[in-house]
Structure 1
């Protein structure tokens, strides 16, 4: 098993945490759209990497 798989899963969970981050009512409320976008981007990128690694493992490479 690849040693980075759990790191990729942790990055996907961190992306979900960024999406659900409650910033309303705090001084950081203005950057909430940025954290939402970074969370979505993180989830997409690392999910695609995991899918690619799964396909490569099935192909035997």
Structure 2
């Protein structure tokens, strides 16, 4: 279970990296809004999942 939680934290960090990546002056500049949206969704989904798992651990299930 510990590796699973670390994987979720790594996914959150990857989401932050996608949000902050600078694609200006590259041929991928047109994909910058897409990478930002994917990064935001990754951070939100994995953060909510970790909150849910933490809440369930506190409740006892």
- Report the TM-score range of the alignment, normalised by the length of the smaller protein: over 0.9
Whether 2:54 is the aligned partner of 1:54: answer yes
Count matched residues: 60
Per the normalisation by structure 2, the TM-score is 0.95
Q: CA RMSD in A?
A: 0.6
Secondary structure of the 1:23 match is coil
Structure-1-length-normalised TM-score: 0.95
Structure 1: which 4+ aligned runs deviate by more than 4 Å? none
For structure 2, which runs of at least 5 residues remain unmatched after alignment? none
Say which structure is richer in helix. 2
What does residue 17 of structure 2 align with?
A: 17
